[in-house]
Amino acid sequence: MHLPSPLPLKDLDRFPSFVMAQGHEALTPLRSKPLGLWLWVACLGLTLGWDATGADLHVMAWLGDAQGFALRDHWWLSTVLHEGVKRLAVVVYLALLWMAVLPWGPWRQVPRLQRLEVVVGITLSLLLISSLKRISLTSCPWELQSFGGVATYISHWSWGTRDGGGGHCFPGGHASSAMAFLAMTLPWLASEQAQEKRKGWVWLGAIVLMGLFLGAAQTLRGAHYPSHTAWTALICAATAWANHQVFQRLQQSNPRLPA
């Protein structure tokens, strides 16, 4: 009986990461999906389920009535958390844009290609959300007849169908003031160094929490449904991932570039 030859000694340390099939000639590596992908898929499923149940209208009915939304013009929500944070996000974006070219402080230790990835990812996310809002016919909740407006509720997936309002309300633009910065986390999350990876997770948590907070503020005002914030997060995360893949390919095709 012919027995398969043993694995070379140099390959023994890799043996647990393989699956045996038809002898060792058919060894194939075990491939695990990254945690971030599973999180994105889970959030996508939850958001689709939220949309399907019509939970958006239930939340808005709890916050407003035929006279509108009591918190629409609240100073903290409209002046500080809307206008103020929007201006702050512009300042942070311009600072990152500047540091991509002329870094200072801790950013001097970040390779130029990585700094460029961050800026390009944030820019693409902002442009995509802005473009989707421009072509969307979905009106804001405070424009619905149920809340003193003129529009009728139509799902934001009913592309090409007007609801009688002003439109241009899907996805949540204000939440993107934070969610667009998800692109800043991927270079660190993808690092093989534990310290850098932990830094990426900390930034990821802070950005997501800020985005949810800003989205909730707009929901309280009647400006956006909760699902608008969720879709903004998903779109920005997908854009950041795609951007990261492009820059990884660029790095691999140009070995002389700093890793």
Structure tokens at 87: 């201006």
Query: Nearest Cα to 185, choosing from 253, 237, 112?
Result: 237
Q: Is the pLDDT at 189 greater than 70, yes or no?
A: yes
Region of 110 please: left (phi>0), alpha (psi -120 to 50) or beta.
beta
DSSP 66-87: TTEETTTT-IIIIIIIIIIHHH
Cα distances (angstroms) measured from residue 128 to each of 69, 171, 217: 29, 10, 22
Q: Is the pLDDT at 34 greater than 80, yes or no?
A: no
> Are the beta carbons of 125 and 180 closer than 8 angstroms?
yes
222: three-class secondary structure by DSSP: coil
Mean pLDDT of 11-27: 40
Q: Is the pLDDT at 19 greater than 60, yes or no?
A: no
**pTM of the shown model:** 0.83
pLDDT of residue 33: 53
Cα 121 → chain centroid: 11
pLDDT averaged over every residue in the chain: 86
Domain ranges of the chain: 1-31, 34-253
Supply φ then ψ for residue 162, to 5 degrees: -85, 145
Q: Is the pLDDT at 85 greater than 80, yes or no?
A: yes
pLDDT of residue 257: 57
Distance of alpha carbon 115 from alpha carbon 209, whole angstroms: 23
pLDDT of residue 17: 40
What share of the chain has pLDDT > 90, as a percent? Answer: 68
pLDDT of residue 24: 40
Mean pLDDT of 214-240: 97
**Residue 258 binned pLDDT confidence (cut-offs 50, 70, 90):** low
Structure tokens at 109: 């230790």
pLDDT of residue 252: 82
**Residue 159 binned pLDDT confidence (cut-offs 50, 70, 90):** confident
168: three-class secondary structure by DSSP: coil
Question: pLDDT per residue over 91-126, tens digit each?
Answer: 999 999 999 988 988 788 888 899 999 999 999 999
Which carries the bigger pLDDT value, residue 46 or residue 21? 46
3-state secondary structure 84-103: HHHHHHHHHHHHHHHHHHCC
Beta bridge partners of 144: 151
Structure tokens at 42: 């889970």
Residues in the chain: 259
Cα distances (angstroms) measured from residue 100 to each of 110, 141, 191: 9, 39, 19
Which carries the bigger pLDDT value, residue 221 or residue 255? 221
